Chain A
């Protein structure tokens, strides 16, 4: 009997759980059910720890794929709670998503930091958060930089200057070889003179 059959499935009869090759349990939900479901996992099934909230930008499918990674010390089990969030941004220029993500900081206070990062790097519109401000960046005006429609190279070319290379643009390997040959020749010449 696996952990799913003994513990999870009796408590969540209508929910579908899968296990991957590494033994990680996965389940999918939506933003409306997220908070209730996660607090039930926390209170009833013994998932005490929120490891992190990961996010992947699937621009082709138009979703931000969020994984709430929970861990249970009692059962030594890892659980991924998957949420797919539409990635469209609001029209009003705030550069945050139309879809709202409820904050889980009422359950785990450390989630505040993860959510700040989601808000800053992916533009996830987190609601119910106490302290929503920039985490790594400073005075960022552009699109959230971890979104895939943010063009890094264009941003760099627009804002920053590159160091100009050497004008002759010599290959380093060839130049080193040439210099080594020169040195060897001089050495041979010197030793020839001393003999």
Chain B
């Protein structure tokens, strides 16, 4: 990923070992995906059965995390209003890298049945980078687990680079966020590496 520790940086000089280390790091990452306990829409109902006895996502190393600082994955589960989007962005920025975003359901993909609603997000990847979309209305827990499997595959191949994309294109994302939030932007301390004031406000 983007900012590895110094020994890793040295090891990267040797090409063969670099691949081995990256493969190992990615293997560890994909084996323990901690999901932030957060639900936005109707899809929040599908997450508890995924985690509990019947579908038991913990056998894949997927389990809940109480705070954004401990979580690796955030599931945007269902329609997202602009009021909630502000909170979601704030939460996402507080998560530690590497972090992954999963969009659950058709409302997250393109607005779904709320395509002409005055308060839901139609195109969410203008504001946040997504790794996986799970289609359906609502997707069943099997579909969500398949989404996790696809995410694990992406991680092991080193292609799950949502947070890198966010860092690289931060101007684009912040400009889009500013377009809808106006002067009621998020506090800057969740994204202090971007703001020049060091995130005081």
Contacts and interface: CB of A to CB of B under 8 A. Distances in A.
Contact of A161 (B82, B86, B116, B126): B126
Contact of A139 (B109, B115, B126, B184): B184
Contact of A160 (B83, B122, B182, B184): B122
A152 B116 contact: yes
A138 B118 CA distance: 12
Contacts of B67: none
A156 interface: yes
Contacts of B116: 152-153, 156
Q: 7 tightest A-B contacts by CB?
A: A163-B110, A163-B123, A138-B83, A153-B116, A155-B118, A162-B122, A152-B118
B109 A163 contact: yes
25 contacts: A136-B83, A137-B83, A137-B119, A138-B83, A138-B184, A139-B184, A150-B118, A152-B116, A152-B118, A153-B116, A155-B118, A156-B116, A156-B117, A156-B118, A156-B122, A160-B123, A161-B122, A161-B123, A162-B110, A162-B122, A162-B123, A163-B110, A163-B111, A163-B122, A163-B123
Interface string B67-83: 00000000000000011
A102 interface: no
A163 B83 CA distance: 20
Given A163-B109, A163-B110, A163-B111, A152 B117 contact: yes
Interface in B125-171: 126
B21 interface: no
Nearest to B86: A138
A156 B126 CA distance: 16
B175 interface: no
B116 to A, nearest CB: 5
Contacts of A46: none
Contacts of B111: 162-163
Nearest to A138: B83
Contacts of B117: 152, 156
Contacts of A150: 118
A150 B117 CA distance: 12
Contacts of A145: 118-119
Interface string A129-162: 0000000111100000100001011011001111
Contacts of A137: 83, 119
A136 B82 CA distance: 11
A154 to B, nearest CB: 10
B11 interface: no
B115 to A, nearest CB: 7
Contacts of A139: 182, 184
